[in-house]
């Protein structure tokens, strides 16, 4: 029997637990349609602001064998474009999630209010963690501000709703953020966004590899997988069961997906590998996950989700 890799986020059903991360190759109509045609279990848009944004100056993305660095600056087509495109995307019979990243609380509230009138958006991912907008701090590193934002935006919630978080590193910060998140009717969290403000050096040119912020940018790919797994694991332990955890970070093959689910993820998002390989990555990764599950005699992802073991002491 073929293993079942479907999952449910809130009330939204996904045929596959693997889909794209908000960011790479999901800004334009062509890119969104390509994801729709692929084996991705859902479609999520580029993080949208109310109006069109050009983003940061180029070069703003670079990758190597270990991962990527970017300082994109939220280039996107604007909210109305994604709302208008959502009706076209229903032909693919998979959920469409809208990512929003307003530059202020009022902008986020205004955008969420417009989503209320749209029947084609399955869910909303509120990005509290973009590290690459000049002059704007990451909301989710300010716990009081996060609570203030959630107090307001959750009043507008009318469908599947969650937040995208930055990476946390101290155990007390996991506990403090989980205590806040557990107070709200969230359906999911996505963790993690890129690790902010890293630098990659071109040793031949003796310079940084991207232009914005003097070369500082968000790190993704293999570089961040251990941190992503730790965030998935800890939040799954701390959050109430009603809040699903979506893993993101360092996923390039079926084994990586398996590890995220073992740590407690209900679904995973693919970022850097999507940039490298294009949408064909979803079919390959899905097949690799299914083969691994066959080897382990797992019939569905819930059989092993969150069941990561610990090493016995010597």
- Residues annotated as catalytic are 129-130
Are 275 and 229 in contact by the 8 Å Cβ rule? The answer is no
Q: How far apart are CA 145 and CA 302, in angstroms?
A: 34
Q: Looking up tokens 């989710």, which residue turns up?
A: 140
Strand order in the sheet with 217-220: 61-64, 67-70, 217-220, 195-198
- Phi, psi values for residue 184, rounded to 5°: -120, 155
Q: With contact defined as beta carbons under 8 Å apart, do 157 and 185 qualify?
A: yes
Going 22 to 23 to 27 to 33, the CA torsion angle's sign is negative
Rounded CA-CA distance 98/32 in Å is: 11
Q: Are 237 and 101 in contact (CB under 8 A)?
A: no
Collapse the DSSP code of 275 into the 3-class scheme (helix H, G, I; strand E, B; otherwise coil) and give the result: helix
Written as one string, the DSSP assignment of 181-204 is HTTS--SEEEE--PEEEE--EETT
SS3 label, residue 126: strand
* Strand-pair partners of 189: 163, 245
Residue 2, number of CB atoms within 10 A of its CB: 8
Q: In whole angstroms, what separates CA 89 from the centre of its chain?
A: 19
| CA atoms lying within 13 Å on the CB side of residue 158 | 13
Task: Name, in order, each residue with C-beta under 8 angstroms of 241's C-beta and a sequence gap of 6 or more.
Answer: none
């Amino acid at each position: 029997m073929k293993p079942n890799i479907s999952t449910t986020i809130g009330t939204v059903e996904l045929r596959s637990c693997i889909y794209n991360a908000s960011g790479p190759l999901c800004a334009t109509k062509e890119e969104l349609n390509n994801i729709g045609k692929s084996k991705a279990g859902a479609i999520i848009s580029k993080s949208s602001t109310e109006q069109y944004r050009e983003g940061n100056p180029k070069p703003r993305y670079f990758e190597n064998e270990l991962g990527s660095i970017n300082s994109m600056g939220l280039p996107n087509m604007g909210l109305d474009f994604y709302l208008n495109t959502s009706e076209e995307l229903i032909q693919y019979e998979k959920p469409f999630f809208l990512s929003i990243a307003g530059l202020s609380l009022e902008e986020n509230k205004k955008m969420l209010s417009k989503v209320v009138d749209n029947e084609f958006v399955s869910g909303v991912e509120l990005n509290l963690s973009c590290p690459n907008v000049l002059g704007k701090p990451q909301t989710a590193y300010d716990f009081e501000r996060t609570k203030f934002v959630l107090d307001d935006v959750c009043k507008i919630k009318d469908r599947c709703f969650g937040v995208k978080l930055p990476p946390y590193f101290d155990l007390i910060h996991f506990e403090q953020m989980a205590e806040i998140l557990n107070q709200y009717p969230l359906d999911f969290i996505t963790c993690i966004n890129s690790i902010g403000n890293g630098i990659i050096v071109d040793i031949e040119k003796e310079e940084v590899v991207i232009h914005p912020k003097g070369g500082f940018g968000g790190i993704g790919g293999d570089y961040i997988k251990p941190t992503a797994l730790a965030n998935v694991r800890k939040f799954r332990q701390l959050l109430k069961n009603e809040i699903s955890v979506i893993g993101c970070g360092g996923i390039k093959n079926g084994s990586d997906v398996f590890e995220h689910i073992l740590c407690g993820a209900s679904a995973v998002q693919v970022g850097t590998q999507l940039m490298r390989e294009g949408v064909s990555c979803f079919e390959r990764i899905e097949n690799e996950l299914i083969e691994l599950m066959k080897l382990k005699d797992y019939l569905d992802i819930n059989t092993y989700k969150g069941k990561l073991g610990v090493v016995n002491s010597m």
